[in-house]
Amino acid sequence: MTKKQALQLFEQKKVRTVWDEEQEKWYFAIVDVIAVLTESKDPQSYWRKLKQRLKEEGNETVTNCHAFKFQAADGKMRLTDVADTEQLFRLIQSIPSPKAEPFKIWISQVASMRIDQMQDSELSIE
């Protein structure tokens, strides 16, 4: 399984992503998305509470999240919960934020860009 990590920028904030060539999907670090949408000082705690609440509600999205090792702020590689675009759209609905709609548009653009690159290899060189 080939995976390629990339940093994407949304309003000058970093969102760690990984492209899974086998699945042909982008996966986004959930805590990074939460940090962008909520501007929380502790996005990990926000995610733990949200995950707990969603599990109690029987939300399947949380159950189906994967984890991937990303470089953390301290430089160490740490397992981080990730979500594909479909899962992320569902999670965003659970986060009250005025940035939700612009972020959804941004996710669609990131996914579309990668699909375009796969169809036209010259675009990936740029």
What is the per-residue pLDDT across 62-112, written as a single tens digit (0 to 9) for each?
777 788 888 888 889 999 999 998 888 888 888 888 888 888 888 878 776
From 9-13, 17-21, 48-52, 112-116, the region with the lowest mean pLDDT? 112-116
Query: Rounded distance, CA 70 to CA 25, Å?
Result: 17
pTM: 0.79
* Count of structural domains within the chain: 1
What is the residue range of 19's domain?
A: 3-125
